[in-house]
Amino acid sequence: MRVEKLEKKNNIVIKGADIQNDPLKQGVAEFLQSTIQVQAKIIEATKIKTRLGKDIIVAKLGCWEDKQNIMQAKSKLKGTKVFVDNDLTKEENRVQANLRKLAKNERDQEKNVKVGYQKLIVDKQIWDWDGKTEKIIERNTKT
């Protein structure tokens, strides 16, 4: 799993974007520049078809700094149906899906919720995912 994680370190996943350019990596670079105003070197881009008919694009970036800039600027996509995320392993994806499901339940109760990497923040209280017990536990915070 460690090798898989290292291979995905500089990758991003774009969901909901309609990028038709050929070559795809040029289309991804133009999309990032026009939507979130980040210029990034794209090494490779692959379009993956899903069962729902929506395309997912996995883009391999030239350097870690480009990825950091994209992740910091992706908030500009808020309110759109386009999402930019880290390329996660299957296990990490499963955990994040569980957290998003929990977050939806909390939002339905009109709570302020943010989903982070293997954590939830519900009304300023932080909950971490415990991989050993496969449960979410409240973080002990010192005041």
> Residue 2: which residues within 8 A CB-CB, separation 6 or more?
none
pLDDT tens digits, 81-108: 999 999 998 899 899 999 999 999 999 9
Residue 128's alpha-carbon distances to 66, 95, 97, 141, in angstroms, are: 28, 11, 14, 12
pLDDT band at 121 (very low <50, low <70, confident <90, very high): very high
pLDDT band at 7 (very low <50, low <70, confident <90, very high): confident
CB 118 within 8 A of CB 128: yes
pLDDT tens digits, 36-57: 999 999 999 999 988 887 889 9
> Residue 35: which residues within 8 A CB-CB, separation 6 or more?
76, 77, 82
The residue ranges of every structural domain in the chain are: 2-87, 91-138
Interatomic CA distance for residues 23 and 39, integer angstroms = 17
2-87 folds as: Alpha-Beta Plaits (3.30.70)
Tokens of 116: 């982070």
The β-bridge partners of 133 are none
Does the predicted TM-score (pTM) go above 0.85? Answer: no
Q: 111: which DSSP letter?
A: -
pLDDT band at 135 (very low <50, low <70, confident <90, very high): confident
